[in-house]
Amino acid sequence: MPRFDLLVKNGVLAVPYHGEVRADLAVAGGRIAAIGEDLPAADAGEVVDASGKAVLPGAVDAHFHIGIYRDMALDAYEETRSSLVGGATTVLSYFRTGQHYLDRTGPYKEIFPEVLSAVEGRSFTDYGFHLAPMTVEQIGEIPALVADHGVTSFKYYMFYKGFDLAANSRDARAFTMGDEYDLGHLYLILEQLARTQADHPDLRLSLSLHCEQSELMRIFIDRVRRSGEPQNLRAYSEGRPPLTERLAIAEATTLAGHTGTSVNLLHLSSAEALAEAERARGAHGTDMRFEVTLHHLCLDHDVLDARGGLGGKVNPPIRTSRDNEYLWERVRDGLVSWVASDHACCMEEHKGDDLWPARPGFGGTALLYPVLISEGHHRRGVPLTRIAEVASANPAKAYNLWGRKGSLAVGFDADLTIVDLDREQEVSTGLLLSGQDHCPFDGVKVRGWPVVTVVGGRVAYRDGAVIGEPGGTYLRRS
């Protein structure tokens, strides 16, 4: 029997926090067993030639929504399949009770096993979950979720205080099916997390925050709806302007600073939001990390509106090219902790042609490395090593996966993707292997695509096609 199951030869490894290394990489038992120059092909059961290509640690797509709008098992299957196209080998999916997802409420001790069961055996990537406590009872379950299920990250949606997901109804309670959902509720979560953290000094327990402030949204949405202007993606951005992000950030960080809870500010969409986040980090003494998404890095509402359609409706809204550039700058200089897709498979029929009832969100996981490399590396000079940090190492560290995920190092899981940096393709829905029937990135020219994606030491994707059955496993993180 050969020493190694798999040998990736002749590639240039992008090793986070270290640099680019020209070396071979050998896999045994699903983990990286050796990195070296000229590892003998004879030692390996299978050899993949990465000559002229870059080898990156499999992306950890830290913001995902399995099953938000569709059957969870189907969604897990089709959407993690799409992840492989983008070089993502781990997804961390948000789940909550209330409308969408399973469309019901109750304690997580009953519901979460159902979620795990629905996804089990259906995911092409490894996967974990962030859970949102929508009721006071669920807040009480946090210690058990950490200890028993290895869930170490939670979520609070700041705009559900006054709106449903689409911002079409203000009956938030019907939507969340939960308890009074406001900053008081947020405070209870933060307090519970701080208490629980004290029992787990080696973990990072954190709360992820969707930062848009609903009371302000009320005013701006009302103004936009009454304005007589076209109800398009620009209108959507004006109805939820950056000020709503800034205010939500100020609120949440004041509370998190008080309790000392670690927080992740999700999908910061605008220059104003990132600047406020930076200011907050200086003012409060707690651990704060900042996420941006592919679409806020690359899409501009005016461009999308010119093309027409509401496929690009998402929360927070798509902003402007000025914001794109600012976000890239902060990816480069290190303020941004990670980049994720916020993938939510949403069919065109649920977008429709009326802005307000249209469902928010869309897929993007298939573009995670391609867009970072094309727009970040080739176009703006972001080094590959930094790209590996924001796509893989940083989220792995933030979410207690470091040691298994996030780097190319002996002992880590053999999750990696081999990228042809020069391969250029125009994005089209078909390429992405998602269940979604449209794509807001359609037509964008992208240079730099994964040609092989390896999950747990097994080649799971090659040259546009998935290989084999779903092999992903659930990631306990405690």
Q: Which residues bind to a copy of itself, rule: CB under 8 A?
A: 3, 15-19, 21-23, 26, 28, 33-40, 180, 182-185, 187-188, 213, 215-219, 243, 246-247, 250-251, 254-255, 258, 279, 283, 402-403, 407, 409-411
CB 266 within 8 A of CB 314: no
- Of 168 and 425, the one with the shorter C-beta distance to a copy of itself is 168
Shortest gap between Cβ of 157 and a copy of itself (angstroms)? 14
Give the strand pairing for 44-49 and 54-57: unpaired
Q: CA geometry: angle at 205 spanning 338 and 256, to 5°?
A: 85
- Of 109 and 404, the one with the shorter C-beta distance to a copy of itself is 404
Q: Sign (positive/negative) of CA torsion 387, 389, 395, 396?
A: positive
Q: Dihedral, CA atoms, 407, 409, 410, 411, nearest 10 degrees? A: -20
- Of 256 and 345, the one with the shorter C-beta distance to a copy of itself is 256
CA 349 to chain centre: 24
Shortest gap between Cβ of 268 and a copy of itself (angstroms)? 16
Q: What are phi and psi of 359, to 5 degrees?
A: -75, 140
Shortest gap between Cβ of 288 and a copy of itself (angstroms)? 15
Alpha helices in 347-398 (DSSP H): 368-371, 379-380, 384-388, 394-398
- Of 23 and 371, the one with the shorter C-beta distance to a copy of itself is 23
- Of 285 and 464, the one with the shorter C-beta distance to a copy of itself is 285
Instruction: Scan for tokens 């794109």, then name that residue.
Output: 324
Shortest gap between Cβ of 120 and a copy of itself (angstroms)? 29
Shortest gap between Cβ of 475 and a copy of itself (angstroms)? 18
- Of 258 and 458, the one with the shorter C-beta distance to a copy of itself is 258
340 SS3 class: strand
- Of 251 and 348, the one with the shorter C-beta distance to a copy of itself is 251
Shortest gap between Cβ of 377 and a copy of itself (angstroms)? 17
- What is the Cα–Cα distance from 361 to 188, expressed in whole angstroms? 28
Shortest gap between Cβ of 257 and a copy of itself (angstroms)? 9
- What is the Cα–Cα distance from 441 to 279, expressed in whole angstroms? 32
- Of 288 and 344, the one with the shorter C-beta distance to a copy of itself is 288
Short-list 328, 363, 329, 357, CA closest to 343: 363
- What is the Cα–Cα distance from 127 to 284, expressed in whole angstroms? 32
- Of 26 and 224, the one with the shorter C-beta distance to a copy of itself is 26
Short-list 97, 198, 103, 110, CA closest to 157: 97
- Of 213 and 270, the one with the shorter C-beta distance to a copy of itself is 213
Q: CA geometry: angle at 67 spanning 65 and 73, to 5°?
A: 130
- Amino acid identity of 110? E
CB 458 within 8 A of CB 413: no
CB 363 within 8 A of CB 434: yes
CA 244 to chain centre: 22
- Of 230 and 403, the one with the shorter C-beta distance to a copy of itself is 403
CB 292 within 8 A of CB 320: no
Shortest gap between Cβ of 220 and a copy of itself (angstroms)? 8
Shortest gap between Cβ of 454 and a copy of itself (angstroms)? 17
Shortest gap between Cβ of 205 and a copy of itself (angstroms)? 20
Short-list 106, 203, 189, CA closest to 142: 189
Shortest gap between Cβ of 130 and a copy of itself (angstroms)? 23
Short-list 202, 222, 223, CA closest to 150: 202
